């Protein structure tokens, strides 16, 4: 709900954005500055409380308003600060006139309005009005710089069920001269000194070891996360997660910011002189230089802000709720995802039609529902050096064509899916020979290759049109149900024939959204999985288009489990795919038991990444059983409420509890620390169960459980105790929890 706080004459004094246990409060200071009053737990706000928001003077500060020396901008918590005034912290915006010097921006508040719906945002993703959770509400505040004529509009959207606040900024040139934008962040806000110490929960990583989570205490100065890769990157999604010291799954206050953007980004936190914190983020300013001619408009990417006062679990429940209700395409939001077998680690580039049909037949025999043909099916592709861009079947491997292969796969009872990397082109390809000027490159400089490939300039409509008709043609020709959309290189030496280097990188991302928007419109039933050399582009900007993401090429369960936990802080588990692969693992060489590989993968959107022909009869039977168990628990596992029970980092067992929204069913997945001697019995508290129910606990992996049923209150307070017994390393188990009412309890 958005509540304007009006003065006696009906003039705006502030706005209270309140939803889902969260308050976000804005105040107008001196009728001119948009000031951040509060973001956190819900609270009551009235006019006197806005008046209490003081901007105290500073000992060595500057009085920006000569008529009033009682305050200093450096202590004013502005919601979109600009530089060159008396606020000496990092600004949200910086711009100058292209001709004739660099006037200091100096905005003043002009007006406000409630929005009738979700605005169009210049081709950038915004949340959609989410179904059952109720429509988003919107507010815009206008500010203007009188000298340049630059108008700044701040957008706020409020999600009623989750309390998530979405912010973005729009710039319009109402002046007579062109303006160069050098920095235009999505948001900035100041948490007050009463917030106290904060830990930053950041990830770092690279290909095959994405998203290693590590909390650390923040101190003085500014700390910035980001990507200069043109894609959001393997090390971190564009997210900022802050929490009070000691925060765990069930306790502690936490704040999160997630950019709806897939290119170069920053998210920063800076300690203010008064001990408060300035949070901000958006487009990477070092890589942006955007000319805004008179009459033109520039939109920043949006950011989603979430708060929780009961630990990371509450925070990620809100983030998941928002991602499902407002970001995923409604068609996929609550749709069970098929169990697929992906051919990559089974065949790599070495296959023909017969071997693929054989593989698909084996996949069907194991219980898979979708067969995905990965890289190597097109042009002359026999390795990763050629043919990207030539999206027709490789005549040597698939002489009868894709449609014939897809038909044979469907005859086995499976849907057919395909890998594709549309943004890329190989120098050795018909497409490059025909259109060498379609690639991103810098005039007069050599093109740069990554994984032997170049990147197409998606800022150009003719390139997007070509790709759209090639992909739609494929989908229609072969009846494709699923695409794995890969992107295997960062952007370097980027220029475009239609835009300068300071614009080309952002225009590339806008082009990608435009292409994906057209594709999802043309093929609404197509399930698209995002991939970028594993998890190199996992961000909320792509969630409206990619209903699921490949998290990493590393499927070794001891690496994968913490990666999945880190991703699950922001991404709903049905959007993160996780595959049962072969042992030894193809990336780490580690030998692990089937149960560990399978139980860890079941915490995500489960699939297979192995060659069934290499399984022993006993292994194949175990995989068949696992798939059948997974399918019967799929709705719960993919759409239930997830609790991360493992300790992050080495040395802790990993466990995931998934509870149905009504608390009547749950699944527990557990994996021991690899190689721990003298394991003994395990005891795990199971937060999220209901104290008023009795739970019968069984396991497909351990016989003899199930009697007597255990009170939910005991599982919550004391925990579930079990003896894993001997088995392949690392030991891993699944448990089923089914509720029955406690005798005499009317809630039952």
The token pair at 422 is: 């549309």
Pick 266 or 531: Cβ nearer ligand GLA: 531
**Residue 421 CB, nearest approach to ligand GLA (Å):** 8
Pick 75 or 209: Cβ nearer ligand GLA: 209
Secondary structure element (H or E) that encloses residue 170, with its range: strand 165-173
Contacts (CB under 6 A) with ligand GLA, residues 292-351: 344
Alpha helices in 538-683 (DSSP H): 557-568, 594-601, 617-639
> Which residues have CB under 8 Å from 589's CB, separation 6+?
none
Going by their DSSP bridges, the two strands 179-191 and 199-206 should be labelled as unpaired
Q: Dmax over Cα atoms in the chain, in whole Å?
A: 85
Is there binding between residue 488 and ligand GLA (CB under 6 A)?
Answer: yes
Is there binding between residue 604 and ligand GLA (CB under 6 A)?
Answer: no
Is there binding between residue 80 and ligand GLA (CB under 6 A)?
Answer: no
* For residue 275, cis peptide bond before it (omega within 30 degrees of 0): no
Buried b (16+ CB within 10 A) or exposed e, 577-607: bbbbbbbebbbbeeebbbbbbbbbbbbbbbb
Q: Is 95 in contact with 83 (CB distance < 8 Å)?
A: no
- The piece of 143-151, 171-179, 501-509, 527-535 that touches ligand GLA (CB under 6 A) is 527-535
Q: What is d(CA 553, CA 453) in angstroms, rounded to the nearest whole number?
A: 19
Among 285, 534, 646, 711, binds ligand GLA (CB under 6 A): 534
Is there binding between residue 374 and ligand GLA (CB under 6 A)?
Answer: yes
**CA proximity to 443, closest of 491, 492, 495, 490:** 495
Strands annotated E in 501-629: 527-530, 548-550, 576-581, 605-609
Q: Is 211 in contact with 236 (CB distance < 8 Å)?
A: yes
SS3 206: strand
Pick 226 or 534: Cβ nearer ligand GLA: 534
Q: What is d(CA 543, CA 480) in angstroms, rounded to the nearest whole number?
A: 20
Give the long-range contacts of residues 212-215, CB within 8 A, separation 24 or more: 212/562, 212/563, 212/566, 213/562, 213/565, 213/566, 213/569, 213/648, 214/649, 215/243
Nearest residue to ligand GLA by CB is 375
| Annotated catalytic residue, options 374, 553, 626, 701 | 553
- The piece of 178-186, 259-267, 526-534, 568-576 that touches ligand GLA (CB under 6 A) is 526-534
| Annotated catalytic residue, options 64, 79, 199, 486 | 486
**Residue 284 CB, nearest approach to ligand GLA (Å):** 24
Among 172, 369, 553, 701, binds ligand GLA (CB under 6 A): 553
Identify whether 380 is a catalytic site residue. Answer: no
Among 40, 192, 533, 544, binds ligand GLA (CB under 6 A): 533
Is there binding between residue 531 and ligand GLA (CB under 6 A)?
Answer: yes
Among 317, 486, 653, 701, binds ligand GLA (CB under 6 A): 486
The token pair at 227 is: 């990507």
Pick 314 or 486: Cβ nearer ligand GLA: 486
Q: What is d(CA 553, CA 148) in angstroms, rounded to the nearest whole number?
A: 50
216 burial type by CB count under 10 A (0-12 exposed, 13-18 middle, 19+ buried):
exposed
Going by their DSSP bridges, the two strands 665-671 and 732-741 should be labelled as antiparallel
- The piece of 71-79, 528-536, 691-699, 711-719 that touches ligand GLA (CB under 6 A) is 528-536
Pick 144 or 553: Cβ nearer ligand GLA: 553
Q: What's phi and psi for 152, nearest 5 deg?
A: -115, 120
Q: Is 287 in contact with 226 (CB distance < 8 Å)?
A: no
Q: What is d(CA 41, CA 23) in angstroms, rounded to the nearest whole number?
A: 6
**Residue 382 CB, nearest approach to ligand GLA (Å):** 12
- The piece of 194-202, 331-339, 520-528, 529-537 that touches ligand GLA (CB under 6 A) is 529-537
Contacts (CB under 6 A) with ligand GLA, residues 214-273: none
Pick 291 or 355: Cβ nearer ligand GLA: 355
Secondary structure element (H or E) that encloses residue 519, with its range: helix 501-522
**Residue 236 CB, nearest approach to ligand GLA (Å):** 18
Among 419, 438, 513, 630, binds ligand GLA (CB under 6 A): 419
The token pair at 133 is: 């959770």
**Residue 283 CB, nearest approach to ligand GLA (Å):** 26
**Residue 413 CB, nearest approach to ligand GLA (Å):** 24
**Residue 632 CB, nearest approach to ligand GLA (Å):** 28
**Residue 384 CB, nearest approach to ligand GLA (Å):** 6
Pick 531 or 538: Cβ nearer ligand GLA: 531
**Residue 581 CB, nearest approach to ligand GLA (Å):** 11
**Residue 23 CB, nearest approach to ligand GLA (Å):** 42
Pick 121 or 348: Cβ nearer ligand GLA: 348
Please count the residues of this chain forming the interface with ligand GLA, following the rule CB under 6 A: 11
Pick 428 or 507: Cβ nearer ligand GLA: 428
Q: Is 682 in contact with 654 (CB distance < 8 Å)?
A: no
Q: What is d(CA 449, CA 243) in angstroms, rounded to the nearest whole number?
A: 40
What count of Cα atoms within 13 Å lies in the side-chain half-sphere of residue 424?
26
- The piece of 196-204, 319-327, 493-501, 531-539 that touches ligand GLA (CB under 6 A) is 531-539
Identify whether 553 is a catalytic site residue. Answer: yes
Pick 112 or 349: Cβ nearer ligand GLA: 349
Query: Which parts of this chain interact with ligand GLA (CB under 6 A)?
Result: 344, 374-375, 384, 419, 486, 488, 531, 533-534, 553
What residues are labeled active site? 486, 553
């Amino acid at each position: 709900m958005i509540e304007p706080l009006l003065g006696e004459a009906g003039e705006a004094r502030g706005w209270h954005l309140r939803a889902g246990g969260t308050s976000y409060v804005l105040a107008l200071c001196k009728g001119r500055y948009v000031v951040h009053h509060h973001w956190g737990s819900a609270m009551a706000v009235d006019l006197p409380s806005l008046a209490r928001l003081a901007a105290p003077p500073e000992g060595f500060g500057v009085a920006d308003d000569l008529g009033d020396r009682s305050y200093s901008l450096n202590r004013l918590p502005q919601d979109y600060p600009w530089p060159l005034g008396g606020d000496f912290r990092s600004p949200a915006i910086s711009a100058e006139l292209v001709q004739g010097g660099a006037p200091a921006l100096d905005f003043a508040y002009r007006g406000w309005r409630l929005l009738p719906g979700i605005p169009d945002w210049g081709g950038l993703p915004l949340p959609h009005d989410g179904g059952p959770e109720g429509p988003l509400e919107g507010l815009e505040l206008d500010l203007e710089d009188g000298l340049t004529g630059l108008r700044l509009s701040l957008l706020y959207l409020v999600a009623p069920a989750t309390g998530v606040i979405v912010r973005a900024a729009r710039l319009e040139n109402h002046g007579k001269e062109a303006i160069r934008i050098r920095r235009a962040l999505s948001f900035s806000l100041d948490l007050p000194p009463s917030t106290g110490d904060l830990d930053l929960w950041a990830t770092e990583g690279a290909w095959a070891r994405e998203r290693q989570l590590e909390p650390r205490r923040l101190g003085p100065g500014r700390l910035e996360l980001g990507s200069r890769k043109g894609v959001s990157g393997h090390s971190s999604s564009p997210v900022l997660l802050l929490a009070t010291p000691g925060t765990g799954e069930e306790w502690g206050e936490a704040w999160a910011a997630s950019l709806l953007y897939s290119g170069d980004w920053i998210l920063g936190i800076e300690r203010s002189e008064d001990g408060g914190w300035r949070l901000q983020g958006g487009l990477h300013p070092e890589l942006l230089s955007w000319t805004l001619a008179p009459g033109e408009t520039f939109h920043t990417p949006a950011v989603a802000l979430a708060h929780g006062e009961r630990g990371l679990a509450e925070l990620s429940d809100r983030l998941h709720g928002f991602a499902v209700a407002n970001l995923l395409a409604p068609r996929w939001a609550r749709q069970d995802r098929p169990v697929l077998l992906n051919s990559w680690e089974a065949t790599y580039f070495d296959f023909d039609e017969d071997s693929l049909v054989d593989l698909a037949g084996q996949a069907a025999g194991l219980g898979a529902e979708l067969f995905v043909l990965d890289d190597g099916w097109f042009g002359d592709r026999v390795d990763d050096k050629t043919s990207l861009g030539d999206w027709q079947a490789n005549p040597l491997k698939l002489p009868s064509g894709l449609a014939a292969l897809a038909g044979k796969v469907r005859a086995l009872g499976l849907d057919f899916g395909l890998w594709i990397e549309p943004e890329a082109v190989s120098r050795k390809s018909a497409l490059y020979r025909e259109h060498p000027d379609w690639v991103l490159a810098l005039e007069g400089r050599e093109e740069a290759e990554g994984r032997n490939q170049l990147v197409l300039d998606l800022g150009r409509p003719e390139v997007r049109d070509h790709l759209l008709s090639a992909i739609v043609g494929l989908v229609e020709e072969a009846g494709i149900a699923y695409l794995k959309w890969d992107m295997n290189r960062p952007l370097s030496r980027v220029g475009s024939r239609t835009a300068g280097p300071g614009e080309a990188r952002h225009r590339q991302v806008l082009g990608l959204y435009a292409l994906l928007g057209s594709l999802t419109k043309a093929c609404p039933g197509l399930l698209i999985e995002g991939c970028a050399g594993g998890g190199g582009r996992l961000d909320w900007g792509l969630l409206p288009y990619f209903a699921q993401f490949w998290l990493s090429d590393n499927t070794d369960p001891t690496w994968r489990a913490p990666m999945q936990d880190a991703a699950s802080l922001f991404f709903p588990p049905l959007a993160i795919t996780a595959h049962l692969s072969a042992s030894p693992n193809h990336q780490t060489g580690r030998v692990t038991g089937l149960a560990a590989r399978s139980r860890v993968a079941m915490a995500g959107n489960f699939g297979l990444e192995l060659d069934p022909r290499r399984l022993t009869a006993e292994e194949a039977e175990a995989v068949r059983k696992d798939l059948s168990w997974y399918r019967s628990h799929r709705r719960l596992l993919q759409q239930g409420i997830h609790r991360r029970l493992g300790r992050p980092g080495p040395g802790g067992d990993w466990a995931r509890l998934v509870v149905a929204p009504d608390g009547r069913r749950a699944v527990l997945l557990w994996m021991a620390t690899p190689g721990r001697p003298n394991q003994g019995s395990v005891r795990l508290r199971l937060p999220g169960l209901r104290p008023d129910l009795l739970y019968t606990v069984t396991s497909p992996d351990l016989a003899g459980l199930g009697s007597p049923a255990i009170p939910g209150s005991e599982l919550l307070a004391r925990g579930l105790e079990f003896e894993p017994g001997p088995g392949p390393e690392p030991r891993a188990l699944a448990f089923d929890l089914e509720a029955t009412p406690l005798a005499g309890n009317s809630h039952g």
